[in-house]
Structure 1
Amino acid sequence: MIISNDIDPRTAQAKRLYDHKRKRLIACGQIKKTRTGKEIWIRGSRP
């Protein structure tokens, strides 16, 4: 399960993305929610 924390709802800026299954931090950057509810990355750091 992947959960994004510290999201500013106005800018959709996610400070960090946390993978609870592997218990580690995945990435930092900006996310965007699609209509289906998926979160896709626009810009930021990826592993």
Structure 2
Amino acid sequence: MKRSLFKRIKFLKRFIKFKKPKGNHNLEKKKKKIKNKIKKKYIKRKYLFK
């Protein structure tokens, strides 16, 4: 899981080099999505252990 995520981020970074203005915005969106997913997982865990 972690390794595939790392590869994806590496790939996205390489992709940005080709299209800087549009690609950058997309990466920000994807980062937010990833952060939200992690937050949701974290919150679920918190409630499971209460």
TM-score band, normalised by shorter chain: under 0.3
Compare CA radii of gyration and give the structure with the larger one: 2
| Larger proportion of helix | 2
| Larger proportion of strand | 1
Q: TM-score normalised to the size of structure 1?
A: 0.17
Q: TM-score normalised to the size of structure 2?
A: 0.16
